[in-house]
Structure 1
Amino acid sequence: MTDEPSVKRVADDAETRYQTLISHVRDAIVEFEFVDGKPLVCHVNDAFVDVFGYESAKLEGESLDDRIVPDWNRAEATRLNERTAAGEVNYQQVRRETADGLRTFLYRGVPYGDEAIAADGMAIYTDLTEITRQKRQLQVMNRVLRHNLRNAVNVITGNMTRLLNALDDQTSEQVDAAAKVEHAAHELETLTQEAIDIESVITAESVDTVIDCVPLIQRVVTDYRQRYPSAEIRMTLPDSMLVSADSRLRRAIESLVTNAIEHNPAATPYVHVQVTDNGPNGWVEIYVDDDGPQIPADERTVIRGDANIEPTHHGSGLGLWLVKWTVELYGGELSFETSSLGGNSVRLRLLRGDHDAME
């Protein structure tokens, strides 16, 4: 025999929990019913009022589209309404009109499909305005700067070579000055490439691919042994190790090896790359150890996110940012320690590629 009071109490509790959840969610949410194909507002949460700037009492019973959809986007809104009325869930980036102007939202239209519910569905709006604006601005700045920097580097190096060739008697001061200009041009070129690599990372979706990091690291070490014959580069690797990553991992490893060599004033810089498996917990650690000067504590603090980026507190370049954002793209973590050699031990912690199978 059904305990009807208990069933009603459970239903009332569920409704209370639902209303509490909706009222505290920081996304703008509106419940609506369709009348003659138009979504009329039944209820909005506090976040909707805050984000869109319209009073709740003035919205209820009104057409949602008349209030927040720009005239030139009505066809899009009609199409989304038709899908919702047909019982389909909508998921799309849209532009909607607030009391302060247009903003960009991630829109989710969810039909209820239950005649016992007074409303026909709900729309959830997540404000993406600042994120999309900053992303677009970053892309534009990155592309303009990297193009201009690359052209400037070519002009500097080309004309410096011509200038030195035109001098019959080159003094030591001239040769020294030319070397400094060449070094600065090389740094600009490196900075430009790092900016290109960073753009490919920060504009990417999350990665769900698996690669074997061992042959990737072996190729990096082989390449750098040829590029820096004075350096001693060693590796301690298993036969194979699958990690959740993609080919961009190579640029992160290369950046760490480059830093370890070029920032080490020793005649024979030492670098040791190793991979360890933490066993059943599903994580792999890639270490790049060196015997060079320590990465400044201020720079490590900024990279970890423990300090704000300031004019005097920002890090010396983009290399470690490239590594950090690449690892975080894979759902991993970057950390710094002191190596057994007294230098840096930079650790990349990545998920094992077969960690799901271990659970």
Structure 2
Amino acid sequence: MSEGLTAVVVANTAEPVDRIETALDEVYDGVTILESTDGRPAVDCIVAVAPLSDDEWAVVEDAAASASRPPVVVLAGESEAGGHRGPETATVTDVVAGGEDRFERLANRVRGMVEMRRSDDEREQTASVAHLTDLYEVATDASLSFTEKANRMLEIGLDRLDVENAHLSTIDREPEHYEIVASIGDLPIEPGDLMDLPRTFCRKTIETDDVLAFSHASEQGWSDDPAYERSNIECYLGSRVVVGGTLYGTVCFLDRSPHSSFSEAEQTFVSLIARWLSHELERTRREEALETLQGGMTELMRATTKAGVCEIAIGIAGDAVEAPSARAWLLDDDETTLEQVTSLSGNVGSRTLHRGDAGTDRLWAAVDEGEVTTFDSTAVPQNEAASAGTVQSEVVIPLDGFGVVTVSAETAEAFDAIDVSLLKMIGSNTVAALERTEWIEELSAAHERSRRIFESASDGLLLIDPDDDEIVDCNDRATDLFGYDDPESLQSVAASTICPEDRERFEELITEVREGGRGWIEELACAGQDGHRIPLEVTAATIALPEGTRILASLRDISERKRREQALNVFNRVLRHNIRNDMNVVIGRAAMIRDQASDPALERSAAEILKTGRKLTALGEKARTFQKVDERDTDLEQVDLRAILDQISANLEADYPAGTVDVAGAEAAPAAVETTVDVAFRELCENGLQHATTAEPTVSVTVSRVSNGQQFAVTISDEGPGLPSQDCAVLEGETETPLNHGSGLGLWLANWIVRTNGGTITVVESSDRGTTIRLTFPAAE
């Protein structure tokens, strides 16, 4: 038995339908009987039982017109053998007439036709697979040009369909030209041939999304067509070729002789060739456009002004999409006007567009929305198209806040989806180039500002290339420092030769800066052009420049400062020496006079001299202490304030047996200070003992952690008469003035030490009952 069968049976009674199904069951393994195709395209055959009404014949016609084009067999009685056909006789494939065995003969006839059809379909499918394989190999062969691929695909189609000619055309609607692009076969149709579109079958092909197919034009209603009259083409298959969403042309297969009906597979094969040709055309076009863009984009990124960028951009746009007109418009800072800066025609003028100007909606929409806007006269009412003047197609590309580029043509449908895609790409690259010009402008302005600062700096500046030991740049101050006539002369020497005595320290500084980013030397012995010695304080840091990492060195001449320091040191040393030695003489003689004087008045004068001499000696000692503190290493470290205060308490109680320094509070107070704080604590505690109004004075010291946990506080209270206002001013200020110079040197020293260590000092209370001073220091981490 044969495999299953699906058949449509149309009859005016049910009795013959049952008998037909029974007969078919004898020759088929499974039979499905339908009254119509019912949306099912896979119908093997149609059986019509005569006689039928016109409506019933209409069902037969509909079923016969389904996608599978099944054969139609008519079952007629003996009396109807000559009148079996219905209104559409061409539909009927075969007739089984009369006789008792007519149902068996019908079943065998159906089986014969269906099996033959299935064999043909199988052979066609095998052939189709082979041809599809050939098409795939051609389409994926990257070594072939488009023309070579088109010719090979047409050859494959020619062989598959067995017709005389296959060709690819491109169509221009204005005027209605039909141009041959590629042609294969026997007919005299050559690439480059031009035809009038109205006299070709392709004018019908481009109006449908399906394949246009007929196998016998003169019998299928085409005999009066202008294309048939011109060419006598009897069979034809054609499909549209679309590139970028726009009609490109058609691919056609034709013959001057009739052909058997084209199957669905054959029509699908033609549609597939059309799609592949569309894809290849689109790919080729994109590649050619991208090649055009590649060279242009390099030039675009070299432009240094916005106008230059725009001029290059519209040139690229015009070439990429073959546009006759392109313009660039830049937006003002207030975004209220667009000024035309360049056009393909070169005629810029002083054209300015304002918001609300007639005909500018598309431009402002692109500016505000940041999206490409398009215009085509075929897609708008005629009155709007007419208002566009000569522009029938336009694409507006936004430039991300810089403005817009417009590309236009005087013909409709001038730009397709590929054009828009390419223009978007050009727009993105134009924005990048415009941003680069802004960066260049800002960099130039910054460079100019830096240059002015560089030139006007009071210190000498050297820009050094550490790899080549080269002075890349210098300012006038550096030129003067080293005694050169001009900057070029200084730049001609190696950087390390400016300090022949300290070359090793200079190289260490360069290494330090390269590794850590910055460095400093308090004094570097350098030499001028004439060899004279120049002591310089040098601060250096790395700086990143387009040409690489450089070191910027700032040079400060410290010659005058060193002379002042030297003079001050000599003066201080002589002054302290003289005060100490001469006051020792004064104190000794005053003590002798006091002890030997018999006159009470003379004795009192000698005592006053002795007291004043001792105060002056103490003042000198404080100045000496200040110098020692100033010369100590000021790097902060971790110091226990409580331990220092306990030691100071023991020392003062030994020096002042009648006094007490009572330390209480936190058992440990690790602070981020250096050890010079002991001088400040001793000054304040000793001041309280010295100026106490009681015979057995007490100074109370309390150590505590501040509530924020990041500081320690030290509170010192005494029983003295209170600090004079000028001494309070010393503790709350940072300078010594003629109005508060008295006893304030020790207090000023304490204040200076506390503040140098990052602390604070405050007079909490000062009265005749005593003074309370509060100090705070940063806690150690």
Please give the range of the TM-score, normalised by the shorter of the 2 chains: 0.7 to 0.9
Q: Deviations over 1:81-112 (max 9, x none)?
A: 767888965743236689xx987532135566
Q: 2:712 aligns with which of 284, 291, 302?
A: 284
CA distance in 2, matches of 1:33, 1:76: 21
**CA RMSD for the aligned pairs?**
4.5
For residue 473 of structure 2, what is the aligned residue in structure 1? 42
The SS at the match of 1:291 is coil
Q: Distance in 2 between matches of 1:277 and 1:177?
A: 51
Partner residue, 1:31: 463
Quickly say closer, same or farther: Cα 1:274–1:318, change in 2 above 3 A: same
Instruction: Kindly report which structure 2 residues correspond to 1:266-281, keeping only aligned pairs within 5 A, or say none.
Output: 266-281=694-709
Q: List runs of 5+ in structure 2 lacking aligned partners.
A: 1-427
**Whole-Å separation in 1 of the counterparts to 2:612 and 2:658:** 22
2:599 paired with 1:176: no
User: Residue 223 of structure 1 is aligned with which of 651, 654, 666?
Assistant: 651
**Contact in 1 for aligned 2:499/2:524 (Cα 8 Å):** no
Report the secondary structure of 2:688's partner residue.
Answer: helix
My pick for the range that moved more, 215-224 or 127-136, is: 127-136
The CA deviation at 1:278 is 0.8
Q: Using the alignment, how far apart are the partners of 2:512 and 2:620 within structure 1?
A: 49
Q: Secondary structure at the match of 2:685?
A: helix
Q: Check whether the contact 1:288–1:345 (CA below 8 A) recurs between aligned residues.
A: yes
Would the aligned equivalents of 2:721 and 2:767 in 1 still touch at CA under 8 Å?
no
The AA in structure 1 aligned to 2:461 is I
- 2:637 paired residue among 205, 209, 231: 209
Deviation of 1:233 (Å):
3.6
Change (3 A) 1:237 1:85: closer
Q: Is the 8 A contact 1:289 1:346 kept in 2?
A: yes
Q: Deviations over 1:128-184 (max 9, x none)?
A: 45654554444333322222222223223333344445x2x6444344334323322
CA distance in 1, matches of 2:552, 2:563: 27
Tell me, yes or no, if structure 1 residue 105 matches structure 2 residue 536: yes
Is the 2:461–2:554 Cα contact (8 Å) retained in structure 1?
Answer: yes
Q: Is the CA contact (8 Å cut-off) linking 1:32 and 1:120 kept in structure 2?
A: yes
**What amino acid sits opposite 1:213 in the alignment?**
L
1:240 is paired with a residue whose SS is coil
Answer whether contact 2:542 2:549 (CA < 8 A) is retained.
no
User: Residues 184 and 32 of structure 1: is their aligned pair in 2 closer, same or farther, counting only changes over 3 Å?
Assistant: same
Amino acid at match of 1:192: G
Amino acid in the other structure paired with 1:330: N
* CA shift digits 1:305-339 (9 cap, x unpaired): 37x64434434342012212222332223332215
1:197-254 C-alpha deviation (Å, 9 max, x unpaired):
1112223342322222213212222332343344454332321111233443222222
Change (3 A) 1:87 1:253: closer
What SS does the aligned partner of 1:61 have? helix
Q: Is the 8 A contact 1:291 1:339 kept in 2?
A: no
2:685 to 257, 261, 268: 257
Q: Are 2:664 and 2:702, in contact at CA under 8 Å, matched by a contact in 1?
A: yes
1:160 to 585, 590, 597: 590
Could you tell me the percent identity over the aligned residues?
Answer: 20
Q: In the alignment, what sits opposite 2:552?
A: 122
Residues 103, 129 of structure 1: 8 Å contact kept:
yes
Aligned 8 A contact 1:299 1:316 in 2: yes
Match for 2:775 among 345, 348, 351? 348
Per the alignment, do residues 118 and 289 of structure 1 end up closer, same or farther by CA in structure 2, a change over 3 Å counting?
same
Counterpart pick for 1:189 among 617, 630, 634? 617
Measured at CA, do residues 240 and 111 of structure 1 come closer, stay the same or move farther in structure 2, by a change above 3 Å? closer
The answer as to whether partners of 1:289 and 1:339 remain within 8 angstroms in 2 is no
State the distance in 2 between where 1:210 and 1:285 align.
15
- Normalised to the residue count of structure 2, the TM-score between the two structures is 0.37
Offset of residue 37 of structure 1: 6.2
Equivalent residue for 2:759, pick from 332, 340, 347: 332
CA distance in 1, matches of 2:526, 2:742: 39
> CA 1:103–1:291 in 2, change beyond 3 Å: closer, same or farther?
farther
Q: Distance in 2 between matches of 1:295 and 1:311?
A: 18
Q: Distance in 2 between matches of 1:344 and 1:14?
A: 61
1:296 paired to 2:727? no
Secondary structure of the 2:547 match is coil
Distance (Å, rounded) in 2 between the aligned partners of 1:87 and 1:224: 47
Q: 1:209 to 1:32 in 2, by over 3 A?
A: closer
Check the 8 A contact 1:104/1:128 in 2, yes or no.
yes
Q: 1:146 aligns with which of 573, 576, 581?
A: 576
- Measured in 2, the distance between the counterparts of 1:206 and 1:19 equals 40
User: In the aligned structure 1, how far is the partner of 2:560 from the partner of 2:438?
Assistant: 43
Paired residues of 1:38 and 1:63 also in contact (CA < 8 A)? no
Aligned equivalents of 2:533, 2:684: Cα separation in 1: 43
Q: Verify the 8 A CA contact 2:762 2:775 in the aligned structure 1.
A: yes
What's the TM-score once normalised by structure 1's chain length?
Answer: 0.72
Q: Give 1:288 shift.
A: 1.7
Per the TM alignment, residue 195 of structure 1 is displaced from its structure 2 partner at its CA by: 1.2
**Displacement after TM superposition at 1:264 (Å):** 3.5
Q: Which amino acid aligns with 1:106?
A: E
CA distance in 1 between partners of 2:574 and 2:688 (Å): 30
Amino acid at match of 1:238: A
Structure 2: how far apart are the matches of 1:316 and 1:122?
48
Q: Give, in whole Å, the separation in 2 of the partners of 1:158 and 1:147.
A: 17
Secondary structure of 2:500 counterpart:
helix
8 Å CA contact 2:711–2:776 kept in 1: the answer is: yes
Deviates more, 1:131-140 or 1:273-282: 131-140
* Cα distance in 2, alignment partners of residues 229 and 83 from structure 1: 55
- In structure 2, the CA distance between the partners of 1:312 and 1:82, relative to structure 1 (3 Å rule), is closer
Q: CA deviation at 1:287?
A: 1.9
Instruction: Tell me the secondary structure at the aligned position of residue 331 of structure 1.
Output: coil
Any unmatched runs of 5+ in structure 1?
A: none
Distance, in Å, in 1 between the alignment partners of 2:560 and 2:748 is 22
CA distance in 2, matches of 1:12, 1:286: 58
Structure 1 distance, partners of 2:486, 2:440, is 28
**Residues 526 and 535, structure 2, Cα contact 8 Å, conserved in 1:** yes
Describe the shift of the 1:238–1:37 C-alpha distance in structure 2 as closer, same or farther (beyond 3 A): closer
Q: Is the 8 A contact 2:691 2:720 kept in 1?
A: yes
- What is the rounded CA distance, in whole Å, between the counterparts of 1:187 and 1:18 in structure 2? 61
Q: Is the 8 A contact 1:96 1:102 kept in 2?
A: yes
CA distance in 2 between counterparts of 1:85 and 1:252 reads 40
Q: Does the aligned pair in 2 maintain the 1:290–1:341 contact within 8 Å?
A: no
Judge conservation of contact 1:107–1:126 (CA < 8 Å) in 2: yes
Counterpart AA for 2:645:
I
Greater shift in the superposed pair: 204-213 or 155-164: 155-164
In 1, Cα distance between equivalents of 2:747 and 2:731 = 7
Q: 1:164 to 1:87 in 2, by over 3 A?
A: closer
SS at match of 1:207: coil
The answer to whether the 8 Å contact 2:590/2:607 transfers is no
